[in-house]
Every structure is written in structure tokens, then in C-alpha cells.
Structure 1
């Protein structure tokens, strides 16, 4: 890949210093003064790069690897060429993520769009009753409504709309084009471009002549500390209760979360997931992409749901589910294997479906 001017290399971190910060073991102490400046995939890593190895499947990529160092599990050290210095750790994936934060800190949250001096752009509108702590940055064409409160160190990108009474904590990043209303947002929260928080939920009652009558949505959205929400994701406010996103949860792009949904701490929700209203999701739940989750059900702590599943009923804590309708993973994989076998047999015999 050509030189990436969006994220230029670090000035350099010594390998012995990096190993200490990551809790890894530098297998060649004489290489401690070598510098790493950037992260890279194994196959095209060059001098000054750091990469990581997770399995033997990447063995062929090591043939072209010229990295200054590689993070890997002790069981994979024998695969690494002699010219590449090894940082040994049982948690290579986590260590690589931490190394990326050290080497590319500016990539950890969306950057400001303009190069204007820090502060409130004269091209933004901030209601006189809004209260902004020191160090808040507001970029052009943003509108901040009445009685809004924003904490120190928070960055508000261009074209953002923040409705009356919203509270946003410290060191948050609200990216270009985001829309926030009826929401209380904690510290260190990241909203990527186009995220919409706190709009009406989808609620209607039957009308007298067969149509639908809108049900008022008078709840809030509460987003706890260290949550990250992807581009064009929408989170509806509650009908009369609150929609809650728990601490440390990460939500991908283009996710829809309905009214009154409560999501626990440290969950991972991948792109195109739709979660219907009043669903309860526990802590540490992982939901694969394009999954649909029925409303008014409970998903227990630690559940893992495969991509493109349809969840129609409660899932007990600690279970792995997949398929449509979602069922225990063992049952789902058995059903897939049986269906594949039938299809293959029909092809062999020429039988029509």
C-alpha cells in the first residue's frame, strides 16, 4: 500500500518499552532498541512495522513478512522467520489492539473536520442557555439547542444537531451529521457520522376506521460511558420507559435499536442488526451481522448469536444460537448439514426438488 497520509507513522517506540507496556515477552533482548512506527498485516509488513499472528493458517504470509516485530502466542513462535523479532504473549489479539492505540492514537476516534482553532466555530449556533465546559470544540453548521450541557474535552463535528435538554459527558466525539435528542450520554462516548439518537420509536394503535393512531413516545435514550455507535445507526427513545445502552458496548454501522430496548454492558452488535422494542439484552452478548431480534424477549448474559439469524424467543444465558428461527448452535449446524446432504444427493441422482 502507498504511504497513508491520513495516518502517518509514529516517531517510533522501542521494542523493550512496547513489550513492557503490552505485558509481552521480548524473546531477543538485544533487539530492545529497535523501533516500530506502524501496524501492518503480516504479508506486507516491512521494516518499522508491527504485526500479529493468530493461527497457523497465516503461515504462508510469513514468507513475505519483513516486520520489525510480530506478536504471537508461544505455540506459534516456531513459525516466525529468524529475521523477525518476536513479542510473545498469550493474548496477541488484545496486545495488537493496545499497540495500535500507542502507535496510532489519532485513529482511535473520528478526527475534527476543520483546521480552525479549538473552540466554538462562529458558523455554529449555540443557544444562549446551553452550558459548555472548557475545552469543548464545536465545528461549523452545528446547532446546539436550549439547556444542553456538554462536558469538557468533547468534540462536536460539523452539521450536528443537538436537541433541547440533551446532556453529553466529557471526552466524547459526536461526528458529522449526527442527530441527538431526548438523550443522556455518558463520558468517552463516540458517535460516528449520521448516527441518530432519541427519535420517535415505532408505536401505533388501531384506529377507529382501520388505520393507525400514533402512540406518543415520551421516554429517553441513556447511553452509558465508553459506548461506541457506528455510522447511520438509529436508537429510538423509549415510549414511556428509557432505551438504555450499557457501559462499554460497541454498536456497528446501520443498526436499528427500537424503543425501550435495554442492552447490557460490553456487548458487541454488528452491522444491519435490528432489535425490536422492549427487548432485554444481558451483559457481554455478541450479535452477528444482519440478525433480526423480536421484541419483548430476553437474551441472557454472554449469549452469542450467529450472523443472519432470526431470534424469536428468549435465549438463556451463555448459549450460542444461530439460524432462522434461531436455535442452539449444535441443532442449527446439524440442520444445515442434513439439508446440504439432501441437496447433494438430489444433484447426484438428478431428482427434482
Structure 2
């Protein structure tokens, strides 16, 4: 892939400066003045690029690699040819992520659509009772409702909707087409394009003439440094609040029901559905397309495999998978047994024929 104009390379950061920023060790200090402009995979790295490896299996590609530096663990330094400068890190994956953000800071948030220096676009609709701190940017066709409050350094994207009374902290990004109603957001929150936060939850009571809608009068509370993916939906609470804890990262197309409480620093992958009043602990990782039943508790540090169906509470620190979800080692053993039996039946049928 050729370099495009969406995220152009930097003028250059000295390798010695980058090593210091990453907390990495520059294997040969004589390479300290080498300039790094961008990040790249090993297969197409060129001069000015930084790439990283996590195993010796990349040795063949490295022989023809033109990168200006490679980031790796000390244990596999020998896999890097002598002509490529090396940065050593105990956690090269995390260090590479930091390097990418340092070299391409604009790519860490949804892109701005307005190049004008005006803070509030002429076509934006901002209610006169809304309170915006200096430095808030409001892009074209965005709507900000009555008594909303928005902190310094926050950007409201084109066509976004900020409902009445919503409070958004500082240095947030609400991308184009997103809507935030009945919600309080902390500092450093990122809401990607098309996300929906604070709409009423799915609550109905069966009655003699059909389903009777249950009012949803709670809020959504989003704590600091949460990131919410494109087209994800987070329902407001019925009477209590729906809460997403500090530092949690939510992928695209996730559904979070009313009254759900999610802890700090969780990772929730695309197409997960969390039913109402579920409680998710701190540091939980949930694989894609997992469904989580309502009114259950997922303990701190739990890891749930993709495509799982969680119908009961899970104790802290466990690894679960399958439908219904059960301890991962049990699920994997049962899957292996099923595969072995299927293979045996196939061989038996083949022998009979």
C-alpha cells in the first residue's frame, strides 16, 4: 500500500528520542540520529519506517526489509539483520502502539471534517443556553441542545447531536453523525461515527392488549478515557444509570443494554450484546459476537472467547468460552472430542464404502 494523504508521515523523529519516549533500548547508540517518520509492516517497510517483530518467523522478510529500525524483544534480536537498527523492548507490541500514536497523533481520533479555523461552524445549531468552554470546536450541521455543557478542547463532529442537559468533559471527540442524549461524559472520551448513546432501553411489560412500554428515566455515565466504536449503542438506564468505567474500549457495533455497569479498562469486541442490568468487572475482555445474559455478574479479569453465550455469572479471573459458556479448558476439550468422533465416523464410513 502506498503512503496516502490521510495520515502523512512526520518530518522525522530521531531514533534516540523515540527510544527514550518508548522506554526502549537503542541497541547501537551510533544509530541515534536515524530519522523515523512512520510505521509499517515488515513486508513493505521503507526508509523512514519503524516496524516490529514478535517471533523469528519474520527472519526471511527481514533479509530484504528496508526499514530504518525494527522493534523487538531482546530474546529475538539476533533475528534482525545487522544492517537494520534495533530498538529493544520487553513489550514490543505495546511499544509499537505508542510509537504509532507518537508519529501519527491525528489517527488516534476520528478525523476532523472542518479545515476552517472557526470554532463554531456557521451551519451548526447551538442553543443559546448551552455552555461551551473556550476551544470547543463544533463542525457543520452539529446540534447542541439546551443547557448542554462541553469542556475545553472537545470537538463535536459534523451532524452530531448533543441532547439537552448533556455534559461532556474536556478533550473529547464526538465524531460525525453520533448522538449523545441523557448522558454525562468525562474527559478524553472518544465516540466514533454513528454511535448512539443514551436512547431509551428495551423495556416492555406484557399486558392484555400487548406490550406496555416501561419508561426509561436513567442516564448513561461514561467515565474518563473511554472509547466507543462506530455504530455502537448504549442504552440509558430504566431508573438507575448505565455506567461505562474509566479507560474501557468498546469496538464497533456493540449493544449495551439499560442499567449495565461496566468496570474500568475492559475491552469489548465487535457485535457483543450485553443484556440489561448485567455487571461487568474491571479488566474484563469479551470476544466478538458474544452474548451476555442480563442480571448476571462477570468478575474482574475474566476473559470470554468469541461467539460465546454467557447465561450465568462468572467468577473473577476465569477464562470461559462456548455456548453455553463454561471454563475454556472444558470447552476446548469437548470440542476436540467432538472433532475426534466426527473424524472417526468419517473414516468408518469410508472403510465401509
Which residue of 2 is the match for residue 317 of structure 1? Answer: 316
The 1-side partners of 2:64 and 2:185 are apart by: 46
1:71 corresponding residue in structure 2: 71
The CA RMSD over aligned residues, in Å, is 1.1
The whole-number CA distance in structure 2 between the counterparts of 1:350 and 1:60 is 44
CA deviations 1:190-240 (Å, max 9, x no partner) are 00000000001000011123x110000000000000000000000000000
Q: What does residue 31 of structure 1 align with?
A: 31
- Secondary structure of 2:51's counterpart equals strand
Secondary structure (helix, strand or coil) at the match of 1:350 reads helix
SS at match of 2:243: strand
Deviates more, 1:57-66 or 1:263-272: 57-66
Cα shift at 1:115: 1.4
| Equivalences for residues 277-292 of structure 1 within 5 A | 277-292=276-291
Report matched runs for 1:38-57 at 5 Å.
38-57=38-57
Structure 2: distance between partners of 1:18 and 1:203: 52
User: Aligned residue for 2:221?
Assistant: 222
1:246-289 Cα offsets, whole Å, 9 max, x none, are 00000000000000000000000000000000000000000000
Name the residue aligned to 1:102.
102
Q: Residues of 2 paired with 1:133 and 1:20: CA distance?
A: 35
Matches within 5 A, 1:175-194: 175-194=175-194
Q: Secondary structure at the match of 1:158?
A: coil
- SS where residue 87 of structure 2 aligns? strand
Question: Are 1:190 and 1:226, in contact at CA under 8 Å, matched by a contact in 2?
Answer: yes
Q: Is the 8 A contact 1:123 1:141 kept in 2?
A: yes
Q: Which residue of 1 aligns with 2:134?
A: 134
Cα distance in structure 2, aligned partners of 1:338 and 1:71: 41
CA contact 1:229–1:251 (8 Å) conserved in 2:
yes
Deviation at 1:60, TM superposition (A): 3.3
Q: CA deviation at 1:63?
A: 3.1
Partner of 2:348: 349
Once residues 106 and 257 of structure 1 are traced to their aligned partners in structure 2, the CA distance between those partners, rounded to angstroms, is: 28
Cα drift, residue 56 of structure 1: 2.7
User: 1:343, CA displacement in angstroms?
Assistant: 1.1
Query: How many angstroms does 1:55 deviate by?
Result: 2.0
- Aligned counterparts of 2:308 and 2:56: Cα–Cα separation in 1: 30
The yes-or-no answer on 1:202 pairing with 2:209 is no
Following the alignment from structure 1 to structure 2, what is the Cα–Cα distance between the partners of residues 187 and 148? 15
Kept in 2, the 8 Å contact 1:10–1:37? The answer is yes
TM-score under structure 2 length normalisation: 0.98
Structure 1 alignment gaps of length 5 or more: none
Aligned counterpart, 1:245: 244
Of 101-110 and 215-224, the range deviating more from structure 2 = 101-110
- The CA distance in 2 between the partners of 1:50 and 1:61, in whole Å, is 14
Q: In 1, Cα distance between the equivalents of 2:304 and 2:56?
A: 26
When the two structures are superposed, what TM-score results if normalisation uses the length of structure 1?
A: 0.98
Counterpart-to-counterpart distance in 1, 2:222 and 2:101: 24
Q: 1:213: which partner in 2?
A: 212
In the other structure, the counterpart of 1:116 is: 116
> What is the rounded CA distance, in whole Å, between the counterparts of 2:83 and 2:156 in structure 1?
46
What is the rounded CA distance, in whole Å, between the counterparts of 1:250 and 1:179 in structure 2?
18
**Alpha-carbon deviation of 1:324?**
0.5
Secondary structure, in 3 states, of the residue corresponding to 1:213?
strand
The residue matched to 2:111 in structure 1 has which SS?
coil
How many residues align? The count is 351
User: Partners in 2 of 1:54 and 1:241 — Cα distance?
Assistant: 45
Deviation sequence 1:65-123 (CA, Å, 0-9, x none) = 21111110011101111111110110111111111111111111112102122311110
State which drifts further: 13-22 or 194-203.
13-22
Query: Matched residues in 2 for 1:194 and 1:336: separation?
Result: 38
Kept in 2, the 8 Å contact 1:276–1:295? The answer is yes
In 1: Cα distance, 2:61 partner to 2:299 partner: 39
